[in-house]
Amino acid sequence: RYKKVLQEAKKQYDAFNEKRSWEDRLMIAQIEKILEDFHVCMGQYHGRDMEGPAINRLLANVAEIFTRIKSLLIANQADNSIPEAEIIQMCDSYRDLFLLL
């Protein structure tokens, strides 16, 4: 039973990834570049999950990282489909969440 559920979830994940546009992929690459500037790299194992040292560097620099991500998202919003206030609120909420960890 679990195998069937896992296969279905994988199909849905693959279908979602196929729908990503080149703009989405570019944005992901730019966010990963911001993380790399702080030596916060996605793990090569465990499905690209972050590991201990990378998480520690993320937590140590969370305010600056999320400030840069927020600026990137606001500057590169092509169609203004998301209000700037919502982007600011979301980035600030995640920053605050990480600061509390």
pLDDT in tens, 29-53: 899 999 999 999 876 665 667 778 8
8-state DSSP, 82: S
Lowest mean pLDDT among 7-21, 39-53, 58-72, 75-89: 39-53
Q: Which residue has the higher pLDDT, 12 or 88?
A: 88
Q: Which alpha helices (DSSP H) does the chain contain, by range?
A: 2-18, 22-37, 52-60, 62-75, 84-100
Whole-angstrom distance, CA of residue 74 vs CA of residue 97:
20
* Total number of domains constituting the chain: 1
What's the full length of the chain, in residues? 101
Give the amino acid at 88. I
| CA 18 vs CA 11, 36, 54: distances in Å | 11, 25, 28
Q: Provide the domain limits for residue 28.
A: 2-100
